[in-house]
């Protein structure tokens, strides 16, 4: 009995294989390029929509619309400085509060906490980042606002009202709403995002660097300040910009606690407004084609330019840190 020879597999020519790979690469490049083009078109269309929509406001009030301290719907007279000032100051307060919280939490999770505890706390931080912004606004309205009105501002007024410079920051009726309250709520919102990014950056740091520093007798403070911070500077800047971007455009949480008064002043406890909160409150009441609606769209356009400026500044800082 003779056995039939085994069937040899069909050989695929090298040119045919290269042709298939070339087609797959071409299709992949087309898909990826199309996705990036869609994002670019959407972003350009958004900027164009805001710019064209706010054209009437810029034509009526000129480029000085950005620095006009007036918002009077009755007289049909508008300016962007009051909400823009509130946006910038509340964002800076939120970032200044959130940055040390995020850095300390991330460093503790990666360098000090036991692995099991770090896993639980890290998961809790990530869940906190998923809380809707309106929940933070309600929490701020029912918790932070009364606390600021009953305890913080009266204490500050009683002890520091005669101190030059500080009295300008604390004067006003104790309503509880204002830039400081908005900054605290923003800090609680953006701190989980910043913590998550910084934790990933610290975790990616080679363990040999820490171990070498500890082996040379460095303390935890030395390791943090002289090893972790220089190595993670770029990631920390990225985390800060991520938090700042969310704080600049936050709407509902700020609307609950800032007081929504279109005025400019240095008191951190006086009611103010932001660009996002003003648009959210007055957009439904603005008729189509009105100067008021055009002014709101111009505010959105200025806010986008402010976001682009902060992103450009962050890229410059990242380049300097390399």
Q: Are 208 and 249 in contact (CB under 8 A)?
A: no
Q: Are 194 and 241 in contact (CB under 8 A)?
A: no
Place of tokens 């800032």: 258
pLDDT at 291: 92
pTM value is 0.85
For residue 133, the number of C-alpha atoms closer than 13 Å in the C-beta half-sphere is 17
pLDDT at 13: 58
Q: At what angle do helices 14-53 and 291-321 cross, to 10 degrees?
A: 130
Q: Which residues of the chain have pLDDT under 70?
A: 1-20, 318-322
Rounded Cα–Cα distance for residues 96 and 126 (Å): 21
Q: Which of 53, 202, 30 is nearest to 113 (CA)?
A: 202
pLDDT at 293: 92
- Span 123-148, pLDDT tens digits: 888 888 888 889 999 999 999 999 99
Q: Are 133 and 189 in contact (CB under 8 A)?
A: yes
**How does strand 77-78 pair with strand 71-72?**
antiparallel
Roughly how many angstroms between the first and final C-alpha of the chain, as a whole number? 76
């Amino acid at each position: 009995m003779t056995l039939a020879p085994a069937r040899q597999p069909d050989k695929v020519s090298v040119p045919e294989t290269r042709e298939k790979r070339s087609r797959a690469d071409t299709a992949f490049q087309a898909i990826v390029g199309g996705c990036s083009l869609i994002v670019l078109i959407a972003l350009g269309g958004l900027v164009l929509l805001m710019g064209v929509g706010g054209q009437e406001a810029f034509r009526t009030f000129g480029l000085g619309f950005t620095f006009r301290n007036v918002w009077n719907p009755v007289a049909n007279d508008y300016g962007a400085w009051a909400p823009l000032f509130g946006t910038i100051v509340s964002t800076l307060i939120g970032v200044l509060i959130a940055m040390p919280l995020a850095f300390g939490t991330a460093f503790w999770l990666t360098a000090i906490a036991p692995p099991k505890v770090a896993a639980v706390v890290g998961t809790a931080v990530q869940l906190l980042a998923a809380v809707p912004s309106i929940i933070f606004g309600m929490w701020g309205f029912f918790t932070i606002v009364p606390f600021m009105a009953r305890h913080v501002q009266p204490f500050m007024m009683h002890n520091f009202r005669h101190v030059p410079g500080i009295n300008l920051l604390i004067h006003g009726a104790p309503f509880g709403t204002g830039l400081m309250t908005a900054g605290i709520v923003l800090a609680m919102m953006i701190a989980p995002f910043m913590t998550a990014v910084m934790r990933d950056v610290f975790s990616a740091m080679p363990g040999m660097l820490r171990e070498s520093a500890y082996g040379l007798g460095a303390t935890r403070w030395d390791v943090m300040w002289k090893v972790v911070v220089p190595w993670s500077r770029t990631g920390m800047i990225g985390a800060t910009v991520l938090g700042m971007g969310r704080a600049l455009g936050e709407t509902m949480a700020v609307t609950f606690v800032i007081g929504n008064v279109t005025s400019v002043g240095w008191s951190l406890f006086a009611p103010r407004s932001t660009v996002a909160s003003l648009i959210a409150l007055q957009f439904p009441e603005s008729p189509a084609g009105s100067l008021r609606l055009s002014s709101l769209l111009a505010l959105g356009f200025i806010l986008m330019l402010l976001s682009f400026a902060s992103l450009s500044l962050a890229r410059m800082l990242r380049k300097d840190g390399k």
